[in-house]
Amino acid sequence: MGFFQKIKEGLTKTRDSMVKNFEGMLNSFTKIDEELFEELEEILIMSDVGVSTSSTICKKLREKVKETGTTDPSEVKNLLKGIITEMMSGGEELNISTKPSVILVIGVNGVGKTTTIGKMSADLKRRGKKVLLGAADTFRAAAIEQLGVWAERAGVEMVKHTEGADPAAVVFDSITAGKARGADVILCDTAGRLHNKKNLMDELAKISRVIEREAPDCDKEVLLVLDATTGQNAVNQAKQFQAVAGLTGIVLTKLDGTARGGVVIAIKEELGIPIKYIGVGEQIDDLQPFNAADFVEALFDGNQPEAGDTR
The angle formed by the CA atoms of residues 222, 272 and 98, to the nearest 5 degrees, is 35
Residue 105 marked ligand-binding: no
Residue 112 marked ligand-binding: yes
Residue 162 marked ligand-binding: no
The angle formed by the CA atoms of residues 112, 287 and 87, to the nearest 5 degrees, is 100
Which residues neighbour 153 within 8 Å (Cβ) at sequence distance 6 or greater?
118, 122, 284
Residue 191 marked ligand-binding: yes
Residue 182 marked ligand-binding: no
- 280 phi, psi to nearest 5 deg: -125, 25
Residue 111 marked ligand-binding: yes
Q: Name the burial class of residue 109, with classes exposed (0-12), middle (13-18) and buried (19+) by CB atoms within 10 angstroms of its CB.
A: middle
Residue 189 marked ligand-binding: yes
DSSP states along 290-310: --HHHHHHHHHT--PPPTT--
Residue 109 marked ligand-binding: yes
Q: Is 288 helix (H, G, I), strand (E, B) or coil?
A: strand
Taking the CA atoms of 116, 268, 266 and 223 in sequence, report the sign of the dihedral they define. positive
Q: Which long-range contacts (CB under 8 A, 24 or more apart) does 144-152 make?
A: 146/114, 146/115, 147/114, 147/117, 147/118, 147/189, 149/118, 150/114, 150/115, 150/117, 150/118, 150/119, 150/121, 151/118, 151/121
Residue 128 marked ligand-binding: no
d(CA 247, CA 55): 25
d(CA 14, CA 223): 24
d(CA 282, CA 254): 9
Residue 248 marked ligand-binding: no
Residue 24 marked ligand-binding: no
d(CA 59, CA 176): 51
**Residues of the binding site:** 107-114, 189-193, 253-256
**Residues of the binding site for GTP:** 107-114, 189-193, 253-256
